[in-house]
Chains A and B, each alone.
Chain A
């Protein structure tokens, strides 16, 4: 069983600080990587996608991918209380187009 692993948290972050989230995956064939945010009781919403090694920035969010290390991360700068949610790392499965495998998620709590 191919796996996506994340620290479950909770990760407590002071307001205005940087939250750093990590994700490792086991399927070397995975080519596409996604970060979703899920508020309690709601469905996931896409934050970022990343496909090639390096950094990708979008507003306060930066995703980093290192395929050699099978590692993808998400940085949230200037964290706000509204960023308090569970962050899901998802990677495409190598056995079938479009299918995603999700990590268990990291709960982030931003404290005022």
Chain B
């Protein structure tokens, strides 16, 4: 149980385009989902908290207008990287705790390369 999927697993795009990443909890409901970013040789950095039915909350230094988050249902959150630039190239990972639990289960991640 507690499976989280992400799509796509890998994306290459041109600078200035937007990229949408989906995160789904497959066998449980998640009121809250989290989006992380991981640069090479570094640990995970929390970007934002996605809340079903309300606005996402962003960590300090993360631009909310650049990283748009929509938590459309109890099993789906999307992250859209708008006007992507090469410095946005990273490994984006979502996580979700089953509602009421603190244990987070991670999706397989999306590797974004902006040319």
Within 8 Å CB of A88, what residues of B? 43-44
| Contact present for B107 and A105 (CB under 8 Å) | no
In the complex, the chain A residue whose C-beta lies closest to that of B107 is A43
Hey, what's the 0/1 contact readout for A91-110 against B, CB within 8 Å counting as 1? Answer: 01000111111111100000
Task: Identify which of B43, B46, B97 gathers the most chain A CB atoms within 10 Å of its CB.
Answer: B43
For A, the interface residue count at a CB cutoff of 8 angstroms equals 21
Complex: A44 Cα to B108 Cα, angstroms: 8
- Inter-chain contact count A-B, CB under 8 Å? 46
Task: Decide: A44 near B106, CB < 8 A? Known: A88-B44, A98-B32, A98-B49.
Answer: yes
For B, the interface residue count at a CB cutoff of 8 angstroms equals 18
| Contact present for B97 and A98 (CB under 8 Å) | yes
Interface of B is mostly: loop
| Contact present for A45 and B42 (CB under 8 Å) | no
Q: Distance (Å) between the CB of B84 and the closest chain A CB?
A: 21
Complex: A98 Cα to B102 Cα, angstroms: 5
Q: Is A32 an interface residue (CB 8 A)?
A: yes
Q: Is A17 an interface residue (CB 8 A)?
A: no
Enumerate chain B interface residues (CB-CB to A < 8 A): 32, 34, 42-44, 46, 49, 91, 93, 97, 102-109
The 6 closest A-B pairs by CB, nearest first: A43-B109, A43-B106, A104-B43, A102-B43, A102-B44, A43-B93
